[in-house]
Amino acid sequence: MPMKDHGPFLREIGDKYGEIFTLKFGRTYWVVLNSRRAVNELLVKRAAIYSSRGSHMAHSIISGEKRMLLMPYGDMWRRQRRVMHQLLNSSQKPVFRAFQDLESKALMADLLEKPERWYLSVARFSNSVIMSVVFGRRTALGDPDISALHRAQEEFVPFTMPGASLVDSFPVLANIPYLKGLQPWRRKGDEINRRTTSTFTRLMEDLKRRIDQGFANACFMTKLLESSAKKEDFTAEEMAYIAGTLIEAGTDTTRTSLLELVAGTAMYPEWIPRARAELDSVCGHNADRLPEFDDRDRLPMIKAAIKESVRWRPSTAQTGVPHALTAEDEFEGYHIPAGTIVTWNHWAISHSEAEYKNAEQFYPERFLDEDLDDIVKGHYGFGAGRRLCVGYNVAEGNLFIAIARLIYCFDIEQEFSHPVVVDKPFPVSAEVEPFKTIIKPRSEAHRRLIERECHSGVKFSSGAP
């Protein structure tokens, strides 16, 4: 089983064995779902028994059993979920919108001044919104914390895949005494855990330093620190993982979706005239003003482009984060024992002509239907069933304001000598240019609009002296 490009590999198996097939790794069974029908029937309609997680190396060793994304149902999962829901539920939209507005303006200014570094600007925007809300500080262009966070994610995601670790296939190996040479997988896992914990802890220590010096802005973690000090809800390391997981989740989908939007628009610009007609009718044909959140209902093509950006090229995780079955089940002649690991081939479903007409094409119009306003319908970019990403409302807000302003203000084109190629997943590292593209203002009027409205967003302080 390849550690990379597992989506195409599993699709080949699915083409031979059908929309549902089973893989056996040692004593562990994996059921792989290759159609939206199968995902909906099992992970959505039967979510009551299909929504836990398995105890695999990515959870138990690499994440020290503290990353909520990988937690099985239990007390710690419920406690962390409750805390994250307080921050990320739809009632918190006004809190995020102030930062989304500011950071998207900074993105426009960065693209105008440094178009050759567009991918770094996208990474900065994607991280800075959630960083501002969680830690009370913004992210600078080229901030080393972005690199560290992306590395943490790059290292743990492959270990959630089928057959990624010997100990996942043969759990009895975990009982071997942890002596030098006897658990090589554990040495690797412990190394990743130390780096990840160090990254998350450093962000927490920086916040505590700013609190002690009186320079900390009010934010989610200042409130959690105060609350936990009174109730003793979480240890320092658990709080670091809560914050780090929020940053990971709040950054990744936004960044990869915007990369897909840029690549898709450069390769398939046919959707742009219709989107521009809507934008111009709302914001003016001569760059009168920037798109705002209140314009959302009058910009259906932008809403459709959000969903297409999430669907088009599943990149970071080509298969869904695995679910674990908590009770045995029967489905269309299949007996599925309790404890079976169930995942879906996100990459194969997104590329299937049976699921999406002209699936390889970036075509937002496919989402102009009665479910347009339901950001999680029509794709699995935010997960499936009860393990949906709790922050999908935040991601939708990030993408709406960034895409609306980007398409209104800039042209996106392929570079003639370096056409965009998307046959491989985009690099997880934010420092690596994923492809060449040309991003330039639509007109002098749009350039002046950016200079007038957006340059103030570039000037900021981290909250420290």
Which of 142-146, 326-330, 460-464 is least confident? Answer: 460-464
Q: What are phi and psi of 384, to 5 degrees?
A: -145, 150
Whether the pLDDT of residue 464 is over 60: the answer is: no
Provide mean pLDDT across the span 305-310.
97
DSSP of 144-166: HHHHHHHHHHHHHGGGGSTT--H
pTM: 0.92
Encode pLDDT of 344-389 as tens digits: 999 999 999 999 999 999 999 999 999 999 999 999 999 999 888 8
Mean pLDDT for all residues in the chain: 89
pLDDT at 460: 52
pLDDT at 465: 33
Q: Which domains does the chain have, with CATH numbers?
A: 6-457 (1.10.630.10)
Residue 427: burial class (beta carbons within 10 Å; 0-12, 13-18, 19+): middle
pLDDT at 206: 94
Whether the pLDDT of residue 167 is over 90: the answer is: no
Q: How many CB atoms lie within 10 A of CB 142?
A: 14
Encode pLDDT of 258-280 as tens digits: 999 999 999 999 999 999 999 99
pLDDT at 462: 37
Distance (Å, rounded) from C-alpha 234 to C-alpha 221? 12
Which of 35-39, 183-187, 197-201, 258-262 is least confident? Answer: 183-187
pLDDT at 6: 78
pLDDT at 57: 87
Encode pLDDT of 323-351 as tens digits: 999 999 999 999 999 999 999 999 999 99
pLDDT classification of 253: cutoffs 50, 70, 90: confident
pLDDT at 233: 79
Tokens for 404, please give them: 């609306």
The residue count for the chain: 465
Q: Are 368 and 304 in contact (CB under 8 A)?
A: yes
SS3 string of 394-438?
HHHHHHHHHHHHHHHHEEEECECCECCCCCCCCCCCCCCCCCCCE
Question: How many CA atoms lie less than 13 Å away from 208 in the CB half-sphere?
Answer: 12
Encode pLDDT of 18-54 as tens digits: 999 999 988 889 999 999 999 999 999 999 999 999 8
Encode pLDDT of 280-304 as tens digits: 999 999 999 999 999 999 999 999 9
Annotated binding-site residue? 389: yes
Q: Which residue has the higher pLDDT, 315 or 123?
A: 123
Whether the pLDDT of residue 461 is over 50: the answer is: no
Encode pLDDT of 80-103 as tens digits: 988 888 888 777 888 899 999 999
Distance (Å, rounded) from C-alpha 199 to C-alpha 195? 6
